[in-house]
Structure 1
Amino acid sequence: MLTIIAAAAENNALGKDNDMIWHLPDDFKHFKKLTTGHHIIMGRKTFESFPKPLPNRTHIVITRQKNYQNEHCIVVNNFEEALQVVTNDEQPFVIGGGEIYKLSLPFVDKIELTRVHHEFEADAFFPELDLNEWELISEKFHDKDEKHQHSFTFLTYQRKP
């Protein structure tokens, strides 16, 4: 089962200048809990935005750069190649950015979306979901508090049969 995992604002904002635009520690914990031990598929810019590779995950980086190499990841040149790499993982994740989410949408079975209840200025956006294709199967609200400047909701969508 291929799953998108993302955090997006009310206006579908994901980030700006290759950086996150909010800090939600409980969302990081949620991301870590779900993705640890699995393959994570991402675009090159997303990979390069990390201070270092994420521990206990196999990084698959999609790039158009034919000579791109990095010892910490598996480099592929398109989404179909990424899918071939993850065949031995029963739960790989697509972790961004905006272009990669858009490319992966026809292939995924599930979406783990953290909806940040605010609108932000951004240059990367999550694709608009066609709710005729997706069923909301769980949601959990998290109010803002001393560690979280914005309220958010963990939403899980499953592709309708």
Structure 2
Amino acid sequence: MISYVWAEDEATNIGYHGKLPWHLPADLHHFRNLTINHPIIMGRKTFASLPGVLPGRLHVVLSHDDNFRKKYYTNKNVLVFNQISDLKTWIKDQEQEICVIGGNSLFELFKEDVKILHRTIIHEKFKGDVQMPRLNYSKFHLINEENYLPDNENKYAYSFLDYQRK
């Protein structure tokens, strides 16, 4: 089963210059809780934006860069595919939840297959150069919503929204 895990601002921005446009510790904790012990699928740029290989998760990266594939060939925590068809075949063989975490092209690629959406909305607008693709939310039920105000550790109001495909 494919799920999406992402954060966006009120303008649907999800990235700026290869990084998140905000710092929100509560969302980083939420992301960890959702993805721990699950494979996480991403593109090479999203992988590069991480602070390193995240513990407790298989990093499945789609990249056409042969040097990138060679660099991680022996890393048991990183699996690199250079063909979408090979990635889709690998996904079909998985029995657990697989979390797509970005970027834009991977969210676009699997938007008809995704079953669960784990969406964080940061209630601000930031500079961004990558936006979340438009999803048809009418095909999903909102199953959980949690809203939070800014606090000492989290500068912005935010919401955690979970959806399940109808």
Common fold by TM > 0.5: yes
Of residues 119, 136, 144, the one that matches 1:113 is 119
* Aligned: 1:11 with 2:17: no
**Are residues 95 and 151 of structure 1, via their aligned partners in 2, closer, same or farther at CA, if it must alter by over 3 Å?**
same
Q: Secondary structure at the match of 2:138?
A: coil
- Equivalent residue letter for 1:47: F
Q: Once the 2 structures are TM-superposed, how far is the Cα of residue 67 of structure 1 from its aligned partner?
A: 4.8
State the partner residue of 1:138.
Answer: 144
**Are residues 16 and 53 of structure 1, via their aligned partners in 2, closer, same or farther at CA, if it must alter by over 3 Å?**
same
* Aligned: 1:77 with 2:82: yes
Deviation string, structure 1 residues 111-134 (Cα, Å, up to 9, x no partner):
000011111110111112212212
Q: Once the 2 structures are TM-superposed, how far is the Cα of residue 84 of structure 1 from its aligned partner?
A: 2.8
Q: Once the 2 structures are TM-superposed, how far is the Cα of residue 66 of structure 1 from its aligned partner?
A: 4.3
Q: Once the 2 structures are TM-superposed, how far is the Cα of residue 24 of structure 1 from its aligned partner?
A: 1.0
- CA distance, structure 1, for counterparts of residue 15 and residue 95 of structure 2: 28
Q: Secondary structure at the match of 1:85?
A: helix
- Equivalent residue letter for 1:25: P
**Aligned-pair identity (%):** 34
- Equivalent residue letter for 2:54: L
Residues 1-161 of structure 1 aligned to structure 2 (within 5 Å): 1-69=1-69, 70=72, 71=75, 72-86=77-91, 87-160=93-166
Q: How many residues align?
A: 160
Give 4+ residue runs of structure 1 displaced > 4 Å after superposition: none
Q: Once the 2 structures are TM-superposed, how far is the Cα of residue 64 of structure 1 from its aligned partner?
A: 2.5
Is the CA contact (8 Å cut-off) linking 1:10 and 1:119 kept in structure 2?
yes
- CA distance, structure 1, for counterparts of residue 43 and residue 161 of structure 2: 23
- CA distance, structure 1, for counterparts of residue 98 and residue 24 of structure 2: 23
Q: Once the 2 structures are TM-superposed, how far is the Cα of residue 85 of structure 1 from its aligned partner?
A: 2.6
Q: Which runs of 5+ in 1 are unaligned?
A: none
Q: CA RMSD in A?
A: 1.5
Q: Secondary structure at the match of 1:105?
A: coil
Q: Once the 2 structures are TM-superposed, how far is the Cα of residue 51 of structure 1 from its aligned partner?
A: 2.3
- CA distance, structure 1, for counterparts of residue 63 and residue 50 of structure 2: 16
